[in-house]
A and B are shown apart, each in its own frame.
Chain A
Amino acid sequence: MILGVIDYGLSNLFSVVSALRYLNFDYKIISDVDENSKDTDLIIIPGVSSFGPGMQSLKNRGQDEFIRLHNQKHKPILGLCFGAQILLQASEESPGVEGFNFVPGKCSKLQKSDFRVPNQGWREISTEKSFKSAFSLLKSSPQYCFFSHSYKMVLENEESIIMHTNSSAEKITAAYEYKNIFGIQFHPERSGTLGLRILNSAIKRLGSAIE
């Protein structure tokens, strides 16, 4: 399985790639879309960016078209943080900017009454029962992942939400699975061994659909 990690100049590419190396995945970095990119089986969109500027960077490098074509063929996509958000329709962060709209839903601003904004730090996550064993998350003690964002994902299909945060008045989508797409709001590559396990499981799960 060939993983293609999109480099759009703004993200924390290094941490994501380090995690993939640690997990023994073969990957290539896609900066310019060329002949080399064509055989990518699974696209990973890493993320540390704001909605509008991030989308613009993808467009500037022709990566948006590449991602669209990939999705049209129902090939798997993994979005991390910004990468997960940009696959939705839109975000209050950048009015007027269209996301990829592969996943029905929008991003809205976190309310200061629920969190400090940006929501940055370790938050407890809860996983849907059916996914617990798929993600090796059967341990019963609390599980924490590292979040860093100011906007939350609100999905139209709530059944797509497979992980949410557990520890506040408002539940936030922590991870979703929608058709060929997997989106993770937190940074699995920065959430210690738990995060690495989740990243590993997500890639394997998306990859199993390829064969």
Chain B
Amino acid sequence: MVLRIIAGIDVKPPFLVKGVHLEGLKKFGLPDEFARKYYQDGIDEISYQDVVATLFARSGIYDLVEKTASEVFIPITAGGGIDSLQAAQKMLHSGADKISINTAAILKPNLLLEISEKFGLQSVVLRVEARRKGNDWFCMTNSGRENTDVKVLDWISKAGDMGIGELHVLSIDKEGTLSGPDIELFNEVRRNTDLPLIVSGGVVSNQDVLECSLLGVDGVVLNSALLMNKINILELKAYLKHENVMVRE
């Protein structure tokens, strides 16, 4: 299986933003320019997250997705504030290959099935924002702003039947900290589902990516690591290849 290296880009339209634990968002420039650069550097996919969409009750990245889809010829995932079939359709028609849903899925799980029945399983990504409390991880919503009492592992166990093509688990505890991934979380999730799984949060080195791949994840999303130049995509792929991990060349 080829490990997918994905660029995670958080957006507060029209800017690329980055925070820690998805808080304290700072502006870093224009998202489509970063997407273009990562594409040229050999990234496998782009994943846009509109981190204020649920907050402001509207998605503002249709134009961004259109622009990127017209100049970057790799799969694009877009998420943030998608809460209806119409919103999903609009995002897919703007050029997204997949839509990512978190908050709306927890409020009305049927939405996922509705979307995948119309557009196919492969177009639906369930995003899970996981925060640790004691021995469990709980789901957060609204781009890391609200807590729920839904346990991540319980939520995921239902995921298989909910009409999803893939699961994206983000560690809120590690997100933006560049302090290494929450391997325990990813391991637990991997053991509890055989859905395609991509992970993110805290990954800062080539070794971190290797560690995730050894757990059996299908892809790793890099956000701060790319933005802050901690990881170089070409070097990462050469390193992984050397360690016998298949990557797209």
Contact = CB atoms under 8 A, between A and B. Distances in A.
A, B from the same assembly: yes
A67 interface: no
Contacts of A187: 75, 97
A121 B246 contact: no
Contact of A148 (B69, B70, B71, B97): B97
A116 B93 contact: no
B4 A116 contact: no
B194 A190 contact: no
B73 A120 contact: no
Contacts of B121: 118, 150
Contacts of B1: 116, 121
B4 A122 contact: yes
A196 interface: yes
Contacts of A142: 249
A10 to B, nearest CB: 7
Interface string A1-42: 000000000101111001101100000000000000000000
B29 interface: no
Contacts of A116: 1, 194-196, 218
A89 interface: no
Interface in B86-113: 92-95, 97
B248 A144 contact: yes
Contact of B93 (A14, A124, A195): A14
A191 B72 CA distance: 10
Contacts of B196: 116, 118, 120-121
B123 interface: yes
A14 B120 contact: no
B97 A190 contact: yes
B73 A48 contact: no
B74 interface: yes
Interface string A134-151: 000000011110101110
B218 A50 contact: no
B192 to A, nearest CB: 15
A144 B2 CA distance: 9
Nearest to B195: A116
Contacts of A143: 249
B208 interface: no
Interface in B115-168: 118-123, 165-166
A157 interface: no
B44 interface: yes
Interface residues of B, number: 33
A15 B73 CA distance: 8
Contact of B73 (A10, A19, A167): A19
A144 B249 contact: yes
Given A13-B93, A122-B4, A196-B73, A148 B122 contact: yes
A104 interface: no
A121 B77 CA distance: 13
Contacts of B4: 121-122
B61 to A, nearest CB: 14
A49 interface: yes
Nearest to A13: B93
B69 A167 contact: no
Contacts of A12: 92, 95, 97
A190 B75 contact: yes
A193 B73 contact: yes
A27 to B, nearest CB: 14
A143 B97 CA distance: 21
Given A49-B120, A167-B246, A122 B2 contact: yes
Contact of A118 (B75, B122, B248, B249): B122
Contacts of A164: none
Nearest to B197: A116
26 contacts: A12-B95, A18-B95, A21-B70, A48-B119, A49-B119, A50-B120, A116-B194, A116-B218, A120-B165, A120-B196, A121-B2, A121-B4, A121-B196, A123-B2, A124-B2, A141-B249, A144-B2, A144-B249, A146-B74, A148-B122, A150-B121, A150-B122, A167-B246, A190-B97, A192-B39, A196-B73
Given A10-B119, A122-B248, A167-B246, 11 more contacts: A15-B95, A22-B73, A50-B120, A121-B4, A122-B44, A141-B249, A146-B75, A148-B97, A149-B122, A187-B97, A190-B73
